[in-house]
Structure 1
Amino acid sequence: MKTIYFTLLALLLAGCSSMQAEDPPIVQQSHDLLDSDGDGVINARDYCVQTPKGVVIDNTGCPIASVQSEQNKLHILFPNDVDQVPRAFLKQIQSMSDFLAKYPSTYITLKGYASPVGKEDYNLALSERRSVNVRKALIDAGVAPDRIQTISFGENEPVQASDKNVVNTLSRRVTATVLGMNTDIKENWTIFDQRAE
């Protein structure tokens, strides 16, 4: 009985071994499934093909960044018919210079104004001299000249107030607002990463 069993088994195995197996089908790859920068997003979907190592990415393979912004304002008042920067505002000018140094890609536009007293063309020239003198003070404080623009409005945009004297006092001014922005790339971290102390 055992002999018959082994004989049948031998015949069965011999028959299986004589059958030739078909070659597996060859698959044609239709897309680039490589990940050249190793960020986990294939090249076909990767919008940022040179992602730095160790950063957090979005679904398109681009680093996720956090944007922080802050602003600094300049508001300098002038006495009547005066274009020289009052000493009381030099600290504000230095603060703006420091702010511009912190954000080297920003620039500043100085807007000069005059009170609605006297002739319009004289007030326009006065507001221009005021903004030019603030520009000079910023340059003296360390700001590069090509980062400063000036615009003069004369008496065209007086400050609104109920009292005429207050309107005139507050309208003799040079103003500016600068927005500075920093972008930080979020770094990936796992328990296997090492951080420098």
Structure 2
Amino acid sequence: MMRFVMFAILLTFLAGCSGHQIKSFPESTQQPNDLRDLDLDGVIEAREKCDNTLKGAVVDNDGCSGVKAVNERITLNVLFNNGSAYVHPKYYPEVAKVAAFLHKHPHTEVIIEGHASAQGPAGVNKQLSLKRATSIASLLSSNHGIERQRIQAVGYGEERLLDTSDTAQAHQRNRRVMADIRNSNKNTPLKWTIYTSVEE
């Protein structure tokens, strides 16, 4: 009996709706707001105020986490003598520029890249370039208070020459140091990703 009553109600509902026409939206209707989420933080572009927040970070209604993504390469105008890793004090302002950037962005880490010219054995140049990078890293830590765990020193030797010509000017250009500054998410609150599993 109950099934019959439910069936009768359903027929009545369908009969009442059958007389109405279905209206569709015009094809020319335009969405006034940008509903995309290009940085995948859960906030649509129409409300987005922080486009470059770290992926996976907890964000507010404006899409801001307080920590922005940083990807910066800085060339230090520090010249080294041939076979030397000594940083002359006149180049300290170059190191200070990197330190200032790191202080301004406390959630970043830096890789100091040391490079050498193609003069001499490749193995020696590799070690020399690492010593140059280590010299800069030590100045960042001892003179500017940058935490050691935020600094990494690597030596590329003659693997990434800027100028392959065999001239004094080319060799001088290749004896250089770069600072590659990137974000660290160690202190960034991240969203929880919850996985569930069923044990059999």
> What TM-score results when the alignment is normalised by the length of structure 1?
0.55
Amino acid at match of 2:134: V
* CA contact 1:111–1:151 (8 Å) conserved in 2: yes
Moved more, 72-81 or 149-158: 72-81
> What is aligned with 1:173?
176
- Which protein is richer in strand relative to its size? 1
Shift of 1:65: 3.6
> What is aligned with 1:95?
97
Moved more, 66-75 or 163-172: 66-75
Any unmatched runs of 5+ in structure 2?
Answer: 1-40, 49-58, 184-200
Q: What is the SS of the residue equivalent to 2:133?
A: helix
> What is aligned with 2:124?
122
Runs of 4+ in 1 over 3 A off after TM superposition: 65-72
Moved more, 155-164 or 87-96: 155-164
Residues 49-90 of structure 1: CA deviation (Å, up to 9, x unaligned) = xxxxxxx957xx961246686846242321111101122221
> In structure 1, which of residues 54, 60, 63 is the aligned counterpart of residue 61 of structure 2?
63
Any unmatched runs of 5+ in structure 1?
Answer: 1-46, 49-55, 181-197
Q: What is the SS of the residue equivalent to 1:134?
A: helix
Shift of 1:118: 0.8
CA distance in 1, matches of 2:129, 2:109: 20
Shift of 1:146: 0.3
State, as a whole percentage, how many aligned pairs show the same letter: 24
Amino acid at match of 1:160: D
TM-align CA RMSD? 3.0
**Greater Cα radius of gyration, structure 1 or 2:** 1
* CA contact 1:110–1:176 (8 Å) conserved in 2: yes
> What is aligned with 1:27?
none
* CA contact 1:72–1:99 (8 Å) conserved in 2: no
CA distance in 1, matches of 2:116, 2:97: 24
Q: What is the SS of the residue equivalent to 2:108?
A: coil
Count of residues paired in the alignment: 126
> What TM-score results when the alignment is normalised by the length of structure 2?
0.54
Shift of 1:126: 0.6
